[in-house]
Structure 1
Amino acid sequence: MGRNDSKVLVFLWKIKKDLGHEYTHNDLRNWLWKHLLSGQVVPGYGHAVLRKTDPRYECQREFALKHLPDDEMFKLVEALYKVAPDILIEHGKAKNPWPNVDAHSGVLLQHYGMTEMSFYTVLFGVSRALGCLSQLIWDRGLEVMVRRFEQKLGYRKLGRCMSSIVQITPYFLAAGVLCTLVEAVKLNCEEGRQA
């Protein structure tokens, strides 16, 4: 959960700086080859588990095609999507040459005015925490427990101990979100001092 979407944006800005607004797929291919042969990677491509295009990327792409088809950065992401996988396959070092969610998320956030890149990871963390928290609320309301797939015991069989854990867990989640926000503010302040 690093700053991968931010790295993708920096990468895209570098391409735009080098190629300008008017570029062909061939220009992009040549630029990518030069980039790869210099020992660098293409951020936003590859995934530790998936061996196909990340479904979250596909959802974001579908959204962008509908709502921001004329955005310059989206056009560049789209051009990369058409060019990069073949180059990465030919290059031979990538286990997964397909785009992941980070290839698109930063562009969408920028388009809708979220320009503070140091907060992107915070948004990711908060969304995860809220998802867990809502699940805990449902589980508490339905009197079921959060459990691993291999566990067979029900909520009531574990008794008071599990009840206490379920009551305390939202506070741990809230504390985790708060810590993430504090870290992001610290990073943002440090980046401001360095600039």
Structure 2
Amino acid sequence: METKQVAIGLEGIVVAESDISLVDGLNGRLVYRGHWARDLAIHHTFEEVAHLLWFGHLPNESELQQLKQQLAANRSLPDHVKNALDGMPADVDMMSALRSGVSLLAEQGHDWPPTMEQVIALTAKIPTIVAYRFARMQGRKPLEPRPDLDHTANYLYMTKGQEPNPAHVRALDAYLILTQEHGMNASTFTARVVSSTRSDLVSSITAAIGALKGPLHGGAPSEVTEMMEAIGTKENAEPWLRRALENGERLMGFGHRVYKTTDPRATALSVVAAELSKDDPWFELATHVEQVALRLLAEYKPGRQLNTNVEFYAAAVMRAIGLPDELFTPTFAVSRTVGWCAHVLEQAANNRIIRPASHYIGPMPD
């Protein structure tokens, strides 16, 4: 029998040419359509970067206002989706509720190829599904979307049930920009596989949410927030971290499978955190813990290149703005929908069904 080289998990296999993003782990670079992602997060808004990923260029003022208006006009959920969310048992987790809610958005169309109108409408509704379900889980009446608020501010308003703090909107906006897109990851690949069969946009995004739900992909900030809460104060940072390292424990929020140097997403979020640290004790603690942790990691694990990853500052952002751990992965989905849709559109523009082979290693019949 012929021996074939097998790339477990398709690691190192190039399956598509794309001009959407570059993820350069060796050099710590993340590029969205010719722009540094860190600069986009610091200087632009969620809607501007979504326009870049979907249309290929940053919008002028007229294009930006049109996209904002389209997103605002498509936020409300149809009654059948609300009824389904209302009827879910209390123990159904947020990602399962989001996956089910999205799958019911039949009015977004089941035709192929997907349209930009469908992309915008679906992206607009996903934050509403998350906020609606979360409100029900808290035992309060869900708020209706506010068309006067931008995408991130409206999500915070609906989720927290109160007027959003501008500083918190700024921090979350930066995080959502940095997680809109990240190359051919598991959920993005899933979306492209489904789209390659000429299935509809709703099916592609539903499948992507299913992939993101897995703990090896979507992740959670709980371990980072638990570490930060255990440290508690700036004065306790070095003793706590040094004790953890001497006990052979891993410092959560440091090191990354892809990035062998500084995670550019963490760099951008740290800039935003530094701007806000004077107004928020949690950000101030986070920046201090990072400085101490990097110094101690260099001391205890020289040459390991254990740098701050995006989850460290993502946890800091989530904690500071008051979003609980169960909203971390759903909030990730709110942003990553933009990238998923960009890849679905790209797949549809030059489609060939994705159909890899497997190598049979079972017995042959006599």
TM-score (norm 2): 0.34
Partner of 1:11: 227
The CA distance in 2 between the partners of 1:83 and 1:22, in whole Å, is 10
> Which runs of structure 2 are paired with 1:134-145 in the superposition (5 Å)?
134-137=342-345, 139=346, 144-145=349-350
Give the SS at the match of 2:222. Answer: helix
Partner of 1:63: 272
Partner of 1:173: none
Partner of 1:103: 312
User: Is 1:124–2:332 an aligned residue pair?
Assistant: yes
The CA distance in 2 between the partners of 1:72 and 1:104, in whole Å, is 14
User: Is 1:91–2:300 an aligned residue pair?
Assistant: yes
The CA distance in 1 between the partners of 2:277 and 2:253, in whole Å, is 20
Q: What is the Cα deviation at residue 31 of structure 1?
A: 2.0
The CA distance in 2 between the partners of 1:14 and 1:94, in whole Å, is 27
Give the SS at the match of 1:97. Answer: coil
Deviating more after overlay: 2-11 vs 101-110: 2-11
Q: 1:48 to 1:108 in 2, by over 3 A?
A: same
Is the contact between residue 274 and residue 287 of structure 2 (CA under 8 Å) also seen in structure 1?
A: no
TM-score (norm 1): 0.61
Task: Give 5+ residue unaligned stretches, structure 1.
Answer: 146-154, 166-195
Give the number of equivalent residue pairs. Answer: 138
Task: Give 5+ residue unaligned stretches, structure 2.
Answer: 1-216, 355-366
Partner of 1:191: none
Give the SS at the match of 2:349. Answer: coil
Structure 1 counterpart of 2:287, one-letter code: E
Q: What is the Cα deviation at residue 92 of structure 1?
A: 2.0
Partner of 1:169: none
Structure 1 counterpart of 2:349, one-letter code: V
Q: What is the Cα deviation at residue 50 of structure 1?
A: 1.5
The CA distance in 2 between the partners of 1:108 and 1:78, in whole Å, is 11
Deviations 1:29-74 (A, max 9, x none): 2221111122321100011121222110111111122234332221
User: Is 1:29–2:238 an aligned residue pair?
Assistant: yes
Give the SS at the match of 1:111. Answer: helix
Is the contact between residue 11 and residue 43 of structure 1 (CA under 8 Å) also seen in structure 2?
A: yes
Q: What is the Cα deviation at residue 22 of structure 1?
A: 5.6
Deviations 1:116-143 (A, max 9, x none): 2022012223422331113423x37xx7
The CA distance in 2 between the partners of 1:133 and 1:98, in whole Å, is 30
Partner of 1:40: 249
The CA distance in 2 between the partners of 1:48 and 1:22, in whole Å, is 29
The CA distance in 2 between the partners of 1:117 and 1:94, in whole Å, is 32
Is the contact between residue 47 and residue 100 of structure 1 (CA under 8 Å) also seen in structure 2?
A: yes
